[in-house]
Structure 1
């Protein structure tokens, strides 16, 4: 046993102080409160909203500091371009596989068959907001929306794509300054340590946020919402599990690590995402944990933030699977060419659907607005269960981004494999070493 393992065993806190245990208890209590006291469960919504808001206020500065320092510290701008191109190719490849798997499973299992829903009988008012938002976000408008109205406007609003744009531009600008840019890069690195210190404080109330979010979900929608569309929910969770274990598992095996051990390593983050239905709530922690795992800090700074907008495996599976479900439920026949067209459209509309709760549902509405064959008002039948689907989307997205970070670091020859296996064998507890200032820095 290594000295680090001995030190960890000696200083291991009591079980009731371990964060993932607290989150598990909070989720169970939230489900119980929501089921037995639904009115009280609905009133607990501010607890979940408050925790998500606390984390979201830190996302923009964390991404800015991480990306800018990551690019500027690489030194060789050709290397930055190589890593960026390699990352985008990996994202696009795996995302396309996820979209195709959603289509394939939807065709084989056909969860929407025998629903025989009449689109004319569906009240369009229940989805009017989503439809309007989807139509307003055309491809051109979506691209133009990446450009913020001001430099600090992007940081103030916290739009992930806008923050990524100004972060990448700033990183290159600092790198172009050469020696003169080194003090700026150092100052940004020090600011990042402060922001992670704030995250370390906020994350301790994660159980409270998970409790409130889960109590509201069950209290507002009831467990019967699950039973009404259990075929789709079960199909989606099964498909996502198979994608993680088989596709990501194969990628992990080829990269020299076990997907099961990786899941155990990020169990804290997975439980927080399960409780809050948003992968954004653990973005800062994921960055730090990937560094502690032995991944190169500059690569982590580029891959993880970019993945939150461009590597959404769970959202991609949901989009094609839900689209086929709605076609089957409304008895809309689709040819193979129409299905391939849906896959192509989804490849575009899925980009930029960040880890915010409900983003996948809006992206689905955007996809259907481009595909006239399927009645767009049919998404009303998914409103009641979207909160449950959102949890699976966020979980799969998180796992996919973590695996991508390790793979890209390995491909660059900047992964400490000894540290990787040591960290997976002895996972750290969230909020302790993982988020200590400077932890895991390469």
Structure 2
């Protein structure tokens, strides 16, 4: 099923590209084109809603079961500390690499782009970063509210309390654990059903993007987009090299297992869409469910490597386009600011743009520069989402190796029947 699904997604992308360009060239009236793409995008919207439907219960069930199987709170604290340590290091690496690559490639210098007026607004609410607001937001007012709004961090906090409590109660909680284990299996089966709709969603997403923007936008921003994608490939290389240093030649196997989640995240421009399949891929690779179900949800809030590299890269691109000179000290300050603010906006729509907007204001770079990259943000988000999947998969594998010393892989033959069509 996995190989066929990957093939179907690739076919859907090709067909979407052809249809999108055709619509862009043949439908002259913008209003008519918007109506057509609006109907086509229903497929993508339905798929993303289906993903959101299963994310919250899947995270809760797998996390509670995983913690209950850890056996003690000391193991939980140890895994959590190792995960946070890796996340901070990976974020610093991603931000720094973005700065290095944008200074080397200088995509904004001499760009033949029409700069928007300095007073123009990108229309994004900035909102000052508040440590108090971030910390208090971690704790859910209601478990059901957190589930309904897909607040992953709040679900994670409640799940940790539940898992620790289940461990403390012991044998009396065994029926509850078995029930939650059954819920996790049911949610994974529902995931299998939902993923069969993925090619249609990919087709709709690609068609809509190219029909509305047209292929010429990719040419106009070719240097910027090419430089950014090259930077992300370098980041992939660094992350996978670090993974190789920890798990050795099995890194190749990890790449093979996560290629479907990567493709899914790339084609839908949504890291969330790839979460269930990434969890399954890590299970196949040998990451214990108790670790994967804890590290992966945490990573979706604190380890968005693709978004991190984009923050420094895009900010410096806008500064270069406006001719704003930033000293080495300014860039170091920017890196520290982004390290802090990027951890406080989990769940914010278009979070990367919100962070960039506030950073531009801090360094007196015209916020209107965001209008330069908004036109191609969807195509950039595709790469960011795929990079986030790679970063979180590597993080889970590394933390699991540190914790267990040995990863016991599940052979494909053992799990194939569960995903048979």
- TM-score w.r.t. structure 1 length? 0.86
Deviation for aligned residue 1:42: 4.8
Aligned to 2:66: 70
Unpaired segments ≥5 residues, structure 2: 25-32
Which residue in the other structure is 1:43 paired with? 39
Count of equivalent residues: 410
- 1:26 pairs with 12, 32, 55, which one? 12
Query: Which secondary structure state, in structure 2, belongs to the residue aligned with residue 328 of structure 1?
Result: helix
Separation (CA, whole Å) in 2 of partners of 1:393 and 1:433: 33
Q: 2:117 matched to 1:121?
A: yes
In 1, distance between residues paired with 2:101 and 2:188?
40
Which of 132, 141, 155 is 1:149 aligned to?
141
2: CA distance between counterparts of 1:74 and 1:237? 39
Pair 140,217 (structure 1): closer, same or farther in 2 beyond 3 Å: farther
Question: CA 1:348/1:257 → structure 2, altered by over 3 Å: closer, same or farther?
Answer: farther
- Contact 2:44/2:202 (CA < 8 Å) preserved in 1? yes
* 8 Å CA contact retained: 1:48, 1:209: yes
CA 1:377–1:387 in 2, change beyond 3 Å: closer, same or farther? Answer: same
**Deviation (angstroms), 1:53:** 0.9
RMSD of aligned residue pairs (Cα, Å): 2.5
TM-aligned CA deviation for residue 147 of structure 1: 3.0
Counterpart CA distance in 2 for 1:390 and 1:315 is 8
Shift of 1:41: 4.2
Q: Does 1:93 align with 2:89?
A: yes
Cα deviation for residue 416 of structure 1 reads 2.8
2:156 is the alignment partner of 1:160 = no
Is 1:265 paired with 2:257? yes
Q: Secondary structure at the match of 2:343?
A: coil
- Give the Å deviation of 1:123: 6.8
Aligned residue number for residue 315 of structure 1 = 307
Tell me the residue number matched to 1:375. Answer: 366
Query: What CA deviation, in whole Å up to 9, does each residue of 1:342-372 have, x standing for no partner?
Result: 1111112222655887332233224334x24
Residue from 105, 108, 119 that aligns with 1:112: 108
Contact 2:271 2:389 in 1 (8 A): yes
Offset at 1:250? Answer: 3.4
1:300 is matched with 292
The 3-state SS of whatever aligns with 1:295 is coil
- Structure 2 contact 129–341 (Cα < 8 Å) conserved: no
- CA-to-aligned-CA distance 1:225-253 (integer Å, 9 cap, x gap): 21222111111110111111234223324
1:347 aligns with 2:339: yes
Q: Is 1:410 equivalent to 2:406 in the alignment?
A: no
In the superposition, relative to structure 1, how do residues 435 and 340 fare at CA in structure 2: closer, same or farther (>3 Å)? farther
4+ runs of 1 displaced by more than 6 Å? Answer: 116-120
**1:243 aligned partner:** 235
**TM score, norm. by length of structure 2:** 0.90
State the match for 1:195 in structure 2: 187
Paired residue for 1:8? none
Q: Alpha carbons of 1:20 and 1:210: their partners in 2 closer, same or farther (altered >3 Å)?
A: same
Structure 1 144/435 Cα, relative in aligned 2: closer, same or farther at 3 Å?
farther
Residue 373 (structure 1) shift: 2.2
Instruction: Give secondary structure in 2 for the equivalent of 1:18.
Output: helix
Cα shift at 1:157: 0.5
SS, match of residue 266 in structure 1: helix
1 CA distance for matches of 2:215 and 2:292?
39
- Contact 1:349 1:367 survives alignment (8 Å): no
Shift in CA distance, 37/112, structure 1 to aligned 2, threshold 3 Å: same
